[in-house]
Amino acid sequence: MTDLLLLPGDGIGPEVTAQVRRVAARLTNDLQIEERPFGGISFDQHGVPLTDETLALAKASKAVLMGAVGGPKWKDAPRDKRPEAGLLGLRAGMGVFANLRPALCFQPLADASSLKREIVEGLDFMIVRELTGGIYFGEPRYIEDLPDGQGKRAVDTQVYTTMEIERVARVAFELARGRRNKVHSAEKSNVMDTGLLWRQVVTELHARDYADVELEHILADNAAMQIVKNPKQFDVMVTDNLFGDILSDAAAQLTGSLGMLPSAALGLPGTPGLYEPIHGSAPDIAGKGIANPLAAILSFEMALRWSLGRPELADRLFAAVERALEKGARTPDLGGAIGTEAMGDAVLAEL
Ligand code: NAD
Ligand code: IPM
Ligand code: MN
C-alpha cells in the first residue's frame, strides 16, 4: 500500500514538495512514496487535471500531499478542465469534508507578521473549513446569455444539508476538547438561509453532544474583522467552504506569510487524508527558487500525525522547523534572503 501519494502540481508546487521529499527521506526510510502529475501539468499530459488512475491511487493511499495547482497558462481552459477543478474533484472524490487550517505563530516569527507583535505572539487557532459542499459544489451553476444584447447572467448555488453541517461541526467540537475548549461558528445567518440552517444545526448539536464546550456564533464579516483585531480570542473556528477559504488566507498572514500555513483535509475515520499548503502556485515567484517550503513541510508534519500514525516523527519535524526559524532561517516572504533549497537545508540540519 502506498503510504504517501505526492502530487506536486504546478508553479511552486514541485519546488516546495521537493523539500518534503528530502525531509521525509531524512526522517525515515520506511515510507512508500508515489508521485503523479496533477493539475495543469496533468491537463497538459492527459487532457484532464485529475485522472481516474490518480484519484483511485489517492483513495488507496494512506495520505495524499499536494503542492499547489493552477497558473496563467491554464486560465482559458474550460472550467471543468482547469487545474482548480482537479483539486475540487480530488477533495470530493476523497470525501475529505473537514479542512483543518491551523494559524500558528512561531515565536521567532512574531515580528514577520504585518500585525503588531503583541497581537500575534503566541497565536494558535484552528480554522475548520467545510470542504466538500457549499457554493463550491452547489448546482445549478452556469453562465447564460441574456436576450437582446443585455449581456450575460451567472449563477452559483450555495447549498448545505443538516448532515454536512453536523459532521464538520462535530470535528470542530472534538478538536476543541483537546485544545482550549472553545468553538466559534461563523456564518451569515442574518442574510442567508444556509447560514440560518448552519446556526440551527450547530446549536442543536452543541446542546445534544457538546454542552461542555464553549460555543459562540459569529457573523462571518465580523469574524474577518476580529481575526485582524484580536486573533488570540479564537481557539477553533468552524465555517463553510467559501468563508473558510477567505478567513484562512487572512489568518495565514497573521503567522507571517501565506507560505507558512499547512492544512489537513480529513474524511471519515479510516479514510486517507489530503494534506496541502493553503497557498497557491504563486506564478509571480515560480521557477525562482525562493518559495517558502515550510507550509508544505508542515503539511507533511500533519500527515505524519493524522494519517500515517507517526506522531513521534511529526514532533521531531515540528521541533526542527521551530529551531530552524529560531536560528534565523528566512525566505524572502518572511523578510529574509535564503531560497527554497536553503530553507530545506536549515530544517534538515535540525533533524
Ligand atoms: P498564491 O497563494 O499562489 O499567491 C499569493 C501571494 O502569496 C503571491 O504573491 C505569492 O508569491 C505569495 N506566496 C504564496 N505561496 C508562497 C510561498 N510558499 N512562499 C512565498 N510566497 C508565497 O495565490 P494567487 O496568486 O491568488 O493564485 C495563483 C494560482 O494558484 C491561481 O491559479 C489559484 O487558483 C491557485 N491557487 C491554488 C491553490 C492550491 O493549489 N491549493 C491555493 C490558492 C490558489
Ligand atoms: C485553497 C485554494 C482553493 C480553494 C482553489 C485553488 C480551488 O484557494 O485551497 O485555499 O478555493 O479552495
Ligand atoms: Mn484559498
* Ion ligand 3: protein residues whose beta carbon lies under 5 Å: 245
Cα(262) to centroid(ligand 3), Å:
12
Which residue from 65, 87, 130, 281 has its CB within 8 A of the most atoms of ligand 2, so it is best to mutate?
87
Closest C-alpha to ligand 2, atom 4: 245
Query: What DSSP designation does 159 have?
Result: -
Closest C-alpha to ligand 2, atom 6: 84
Residue 46's CATH number? 3.40.718.10
Ligand 1: residues whose CB is within 6 Å?
Answer: 12, 16, 68-71, 84, 87, 258-259, 276, 279-285, 291-292, 295, 333
90 CB under 6 A from ligand 2? Answer: no
Query: Do 186 and 148 sit in the same domain of this protein?
Result: yes
Could you report the average pLDDT of every consecutive run of 10 residues in the chain (351 residues)? 97 98 97 98 98 98 98 95 98 98 93 91 96 98 96 98 98 98 98 98 98 98 97 98 96 89 96 97 98 98 97 98 97 96 98 96
- Alpha-carbon distance of 254 to 233, in angstroms, equals 13
Cα(155) to centroid(ligand 1), Å:
26
Looking at residue 324, what is its pLDDT?
A: 98
The answer to whether residue 349 sits within a structural domain is yes
Looking at residue 245, what is its pLDDT?
A: 97
Residue 154 backbone dihedrals phi, psi, to 5 degrees: -115, 140
Closest C-alpha to ligand 2, atom 12: 245
For the beta sheet containing 98-104, the strands, ordered from the edge strand earlier in sequence to the opposite edge, are: 33-35, 4-9, 63-68, 273-275, 264-266, 98-104, 124-130, 236-239, 182-187, 214-219
Based on its alpha-carbon atoms, the radius of gyration of the chain, rounded to whole angstroms, reads 20
- Alpha-carbon distance of 103 to 244, in angstroms, equals 12
What are the residues facing 66 on neighbouring strands?
7
Residues 181/212, Cβ–Cβ less than 8 Å: yes
- Alpha-carbon distance of 331 to 138, in angstroms, equals 39
Query: Do 136 and 44 sit in the same domain of this protein?
Result: no
Looking at residue 242, what is its pLDDT?
A: 98
> Which positions are annotated as active-site residues?
136, 188, 221, 245, 249
Looking at residue 65, what is its pLDDT?
A: 98
Query: Do 83 and 184 sit in the same domain of this protein?
Result: no
Cα(245) to centroid(ligand 2), Å:
7
Closest C-alpha to ligand 1, atom 11: 282
Residues 257/292, Cβ–Cβ less than 8 Å: yes
Query: pTM here?
Result: 0.96
- Name the residue range of residue 157's domain: 107-261
The torsion angle over the Cα atoms of residues 131, 135, 138 and 139, rounded to 10 degrees, is: -160
What is the number of structural domains in the chain? 2
Dig out the grid coordinates for 100 from the structure: 483543518
Looking at residue 151, what is its pLDDT?
A: 98
Query: Do 112 and 248 sit in the same domain of this protein?
Result: yes
130 CB under 6 A from ligand 2? Answer: no
The position carrying cell 519535524 is 317
Looking at residue 266, what is its pLDDT?
A: 98
Query: Do 48 and 148 sit in the same domain of this protein?
Result: no
Looking at residue 252, what is its pLDDT?
A: 87
Q: Which among 261, 289, 320 is the end of a domain? A: 261
Closest C-alpha to ligand 1, atom 26: 280
The answer to whether residue 102 sits within a structural domain is no
